[in-house]
Amino acid sequence: MISIDAVADTLTELHDRLRTLDEGTVADYIPQLATVDRRLFGLALVSMDGHLYTAGDADVPCTIQSVSKPFVYALALADLGLAEVSRRVGAEPSGEAFNAISLEPGTGRPANPMVNAGAIVTTSLVAADSPEQRFERILACLSAFAGRPLDVDEQVFASEAATGDRNRALAHLMRGAGSLTGSVDDAVTTYFRQCAIRVTAADLAVMAATLANGGVNPVTGTAVVPEPIAMRVLAVMATCGMYDAAGDWLLRVGLPAKSGVSGALIAASPARFGIAVFSPPLDATGNPVRGVAVLREASERFGLHLMHHR
């Protein structure tokens, strides 16, 4: 186990060294995301006793993007249970890009909740009387995971809503196949809003730590989701969280994780800590270059791999 001083020193050291790593491309298919400063680099770690360690730009907001997916999956599981959710969204790594048309032949059921198709269905499964109430419940859930009230970056939302034809097309295909029920417009609009929720690396580390802590937020003490749900969400993150790089990630880093196109990345070490990195440039698989580098190094150096012999 790592000592507390070593955690703080390690974050600072990783931050100072890896900030010279200047590879990758900032996502621009959502035009507003391309306006961000590519040099931003924040690290945060939250331990199971609720202590927050940070380095660099850990308090600079970014949009959560795909890092929202595991938390909304948790909410859908809490609402409907694993059997019902699994009937609608699979749990198999697609081995494909985040925006792939990964739908089961015949049924149109999406491969898993971490790719866009699966996330759009998951969002639509959240129990509510109206699309507005559905989004309010999603925002409240993510806020409970973060331990503070979150809000929406309306510019990023508008930018994605104006350009999100691929996600709209995916939703239409799923509705045609019967795997998405209800209005396509409502489903994608709620999904775009969820992706535009504003968080910092510090927030994301608390959210990841809540999953690592069996669903109890280690900072606020709130039980956000029951323990079996936190465990299942981590399982799906471990196999599907890094898209088509998920296998390589499990091999080299060995922690449940989730990345987003804003450059946000979370990973959780069950019963130990949650960690988050924010750095906008992405590699060819859509995963953040520096986030991946930080986690690879930290995992190797401290033997964090889930399969590590302790």
Instruction: State the number of CA atoms in the 13 A half-sphere of 196 facing the CB.
Output: 22
188 is annotated as an active-site residue: no
| Binding of ligand GLN by 135 (CB under 6 A) | no
Catalytic status, residue 261:
yes
Question: Which whole-number Å values give the CA distances from 58 to 205, 239, 287, in the listed order?
Answer: 10, 27, 18
Site for ligand GLN contains 195 (CB under 6 A): yes
Residue among 72, 184, 243, 277 flagged as catalytic: 243
Q: Using the rule CB under 6 A, is 260 a contact of ligand GLN?
A: yes
The question of whether 69 is a catalytic residue gets the answer yes
Task: Give the annotated binding-site residues for substrate.
Answer: 66, 116, 160, 167, 191, 243, 261
Catalytic residue among 126, 143, 191, 219: 191
Count of residues in contact with ligand GLN, rule CB under 6 A: 11
Contacts (CB under 6 A) with ligand GLN, residues 139-158? none
Q: Compute the residue count for the chain.
A: 310
Amino acid at 309: H
d(CA 232, CA 229): 5
Does 116 interact with ligand GLN (rule: CB under 6 A)? Answer: yes
DSSP helix/strand/coil, 174: helix
Q: Is 29 a catalytic residue?
A: no
Q: Does 65 bind ligand GLN (CB under 6 A)?
A: yes
CA distance 52 to 27: 29
Among 204, 189, 212, residue whose Cα is nearest residue 63: 204
Residue 258: active-site member = no
Catalytic entry in 69, 72, 179, 299: 69
Residue 299 as a binder of ligand GLN (CB under 6 A): the answer is no
Could you say which of 144, 174, 238, 261 contacts ligand GLN (CB under 6 A)? 261
CA distances from 228 to 50, 232, 235, 272 (A): 21, 6, 11, 17
Which residue's CB comes closest to ligand GLN? Answer: 66
Q: Between the CA atoms of 7, 9, 14 and 20, what dihedral angle is there, to the nearest 10 degrees?
A: 160
Enumerate the active-site residues. 66, 69, 191, 243, 261
Enumerate binding residues for ligand GLN (CB under 6 A): 65-66, 98-99, 116, 160, 167, 195, 260-261, 286
